[in-house]
């Protein structure tokens, strides 16, 4: 009897366990088939459908004279989509392409470790013979596919490279922050200059198609019935750059010369040319730069990727004398025809130090006009002592130095305008008096400006004090040609009286055009060029050569600043380059007769 009861209890317990298990199975089945059916249905579709992105071409970059300087071209990449059983097809592809299979395996495993579901680009921009070879064997490469990519092309190679910038692959540490904006792991984005500044405008929106795949990852038939999403091309940038002038300005720098040239339209702030030498080829980055090429660029002692026009700051030398002269006139320390207490005998003693003039024989007694024309250092040493560092610093900042111009580029140096507090922090109390003020008055010492700042300042002087913010963008247009953004025109005024500006303009015109003026090498036949030479001492080597100007002197259409590193006197090196830039630009603006136009076209 007890045995029967025990057997019955065991049977009931077993039935209860089976009932509970069946209940759990029913509940789980209901959850999978009813409550979570859409979720698992989606996962099932994802396992049999492959999304193929359709790359959107990046927008064009055009100049003011309608020259395309950056565009997109098609490329063909070999891409791995499969997440399993990929070793054999990858090894087969490496053999077909005569590539190192170990390197391919390392690339796949490295990416899959962090991003297991993302496609892996095995080879970028396959050349036609290799592309044909892969396509011929594609049925034997399950999980691999040829995918069309949009690759950036700088149409003129290194010319204008610091103006354009380049595109580069998204870094792994950037991906998490960019994927929400529609970027893929193997996408490229703008890095440096205009490509970076206007990334949101130039970048298009990728489309996609859906393909059904079998268990081995091979595509089955045509795209699915779902309508494909077409890619939207990026928008077009139209720049203020005069490409003919840009080409001419680039050609004026000799092989091996380092420096920069900036040309601006004073009445609008439009940048007409922006040159930095040496330069680099943005096309090296279009498919991902090779390690050897990157090491060569990164370790080049001439820093070819550094934009000297906007990011480098230098002592301005005597080009700064316009600021010293303007400050002295506005502070009523001198008049335009007033002379200094000490005539120039070739040097001036200040304390226990002798400050020399560039002309060892001396200039004698000069007024402000004569001191500017002949660039007399002794005259300006005395102005600096009268002004003091503090007042020169204040007027420098009011005239736009020591601060960024806010040009539409991603990185810009503010330069440096040191004042008494700056010297107090770095060199101790009282260190900024005497010789420091004299040195600053001729643009030496710790004072630093960029070529862009100097071009903007001289353009404002030529434009009777009205200063326009330098800019490159004239308009942004959709691929269909609809303008959705126009140039931003912002201006202010130099804090100078009309009399001061007139005195500066007269002196700068005579620097170039009067016999004995230091800027004679910048003369242009039939045009009055107004400008100033500068020879900036360089503690690391030979002097830097400067020239800044505007032309025509009465109503300028162009302002130019040229800097050539370690080249010596501004009158000998930078001035001829600036004069050639002015001559080229004004020549391009001259109307031609029909006969001339036909001849040029032929």
Exposure of 259 in the CB half-sphere (CA atoms within 13 A): 29
Quick one: 381 exposed, middle or buried, by C-beta within 10 A (0-12, 13-18, 19+)? Answer: buried
Beta carbons within 10 angstroms of residue 399's beta carbon: 22
Closest of 349, 355, 350, 318 to residue 434, by C-alpha: 350
Measured distance CA(474)–CA(486) in Å, rounded: 6
Phi then psi for residue 234, to 5 deg, are: -70, 165
CA distance readout (Å), 422 to 431, 437, 440: 10, 13, 14
Token pair, residue 348, equals 């001036």
Closest CA to 78 of 29, 121, 43: 121
Paired tokens of 274: 């922006």
**Tokens 């005069």, residue?**
242
Q: Which helix (H) or strand (E) holds 160?
A: none
Q: Which residues have a Cβ under 8 Å from the Cβ of 234 and sit 6 or more positions away?
A: 56, 57, 58, 59, 72, 201, 202, 203, 204, 479
- 163 neighbors 194 (Cβ within 8 angstroms): yes
CA–CA separation, 321 vs 316, rounded Å?
9
* Cα Dmax for the chain: 139
244: how many CB neighbours lie within 10 A of its CB? 17
Phi, psi torsion values for 475, nearest 5 degrees: -160, 160
Helix H or strand E segment including 341: none
Q: Which residues contact 526 (CB under 8 A, 6 or more apart)?
A: none
Gyration radius of the chain over CA positions: 34
Structure tokens at 601: 């076209």
Q: Is 318 a catalytic residue?
A: yes
Q: By CB neighbour count within 10 A (0-12 exposed, 13-18 middle, 19+ buried), where does 466 fall?
A: middle
Q: Are 459 and 556 in contact (CB under 8 A)?
A: yes
Name the catalytic one among 150, 240, 276, 318: 318
Query: What positions carry a catalytic annotation?
Result: 318
């Amino acid at each position: 009897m007890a045995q029967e009861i025990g057997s019955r209890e065991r049977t009931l317990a077993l039935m209860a366990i089976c009932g509970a298990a069946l209940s759990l199975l029913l509940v789980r089945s209901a959850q999978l088939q009813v409550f979570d059916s859409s979720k698992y249905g989606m996962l099932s579709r994802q396992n049999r459908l492959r999304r193929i992105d359709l790359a959107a071409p990046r927008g064009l970059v055009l100049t003011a004279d309608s020259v395309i300087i950056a565009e997109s071209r098609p490329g063909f990449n070999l891409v791995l989509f499969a997440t399993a059983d990929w070793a054999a097809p990858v090894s087969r592809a490496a053999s077909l392409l005569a590539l190192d299979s170990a390197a391919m395996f390392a690339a796949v495993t490295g990416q899959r470790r962090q991003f297991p579901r993302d496609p892996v680009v095995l080879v970028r921009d396959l050349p036609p013979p290799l592309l044909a070879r892969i396509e011929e064997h594609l049925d034997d490469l399950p999980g691999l596919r040829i995918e069309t990519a949009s690759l950036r092309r700088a149409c003129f190679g290194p010319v204008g490279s610091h103006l354009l910038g380049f595109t580069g692959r998204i870094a792994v540490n950037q991906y998490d922050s960019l994927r929400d904006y529609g970027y893929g792991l193997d996408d490229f984005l703008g890095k440096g200059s205009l490509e970076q500044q206007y990334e949101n405008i130039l970048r298009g929106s990728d489309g996609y198609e859906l393909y059904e795949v079998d268990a081995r990852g091979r595509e089955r038939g045509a795209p699915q019935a779902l309508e494909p999403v077409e890619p939207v091309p990026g928008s077009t940038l139209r720049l203020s750059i005069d490409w003919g002038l840009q080409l001419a300005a680039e050609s004026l720098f000799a092989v091996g010369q380092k420096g920069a040239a900036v040309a601006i339209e004073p009445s609008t702030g439009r940048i007409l040319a922006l040159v930095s030498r040496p330069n680099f080829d943005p096309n090296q980055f279009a498919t991902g730069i090779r390690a050897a090429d990157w090491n060569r660029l990164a370790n080049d002692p001439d820093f070819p990727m550094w934009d000297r026009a906007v990011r480098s700051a230098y002592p301005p030398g005597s080009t700064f004398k316009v600021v010293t002269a303007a400050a002295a006139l506005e502070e009523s320390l001198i008049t335009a025809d007033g002379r200094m207490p000490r005539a120039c005998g070739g040097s001036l003693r200040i304390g226990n130090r002798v400050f020399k003039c560039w002309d060892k024989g001396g200039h004698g007694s000069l007024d402000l006009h004569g001191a500017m024309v002949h660039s007399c250092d002794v005259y300006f040493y005395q102005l600096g002592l009268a002004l003091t560092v503090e007042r020169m610093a204040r007027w420098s900042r009011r005239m736009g130095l020591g601060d960024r111009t806010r040009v539409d580029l991603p990185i810009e140096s503010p330069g440096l305008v040191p004042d008494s507090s700056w010297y107090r922090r770095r060199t101790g109390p009282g260190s900024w008096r005497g010789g420091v003020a004299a040195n600053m008055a001729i643009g030496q010492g710790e004072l630093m400006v960029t070529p862009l700042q100097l071009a903007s300042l001289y353009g404002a002087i030529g434009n009777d004090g009205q200063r326009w913010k330098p800019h490159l963008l004239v308009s942004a247009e959709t691929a269909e040609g609809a303008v959705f953004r126009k140039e931003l025109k912002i201006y202010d005024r130099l804090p100078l009286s009309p009399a001061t500006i007139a005195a500066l303009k007269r002196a700068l015109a005579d620097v170039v055009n009067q016999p004995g003026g230091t800027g004679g090498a910048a003369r242009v036949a039939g045009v009055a060029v107004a400008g100033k030479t500068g020879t900036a001492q360089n503690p690391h080597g030979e002097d830097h050569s400067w020239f800044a100007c505007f032309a025509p002197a009465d109503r300028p259409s162009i302002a130019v600043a040229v800097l050539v590193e370690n080249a010596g006197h501004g009158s000998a090196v930078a001035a001829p380059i600036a004069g050639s830039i002015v001559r080229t630009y004004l020549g391009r603006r001259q109307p031609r007769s029909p006969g001339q136009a036909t001849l040029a076209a032929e």
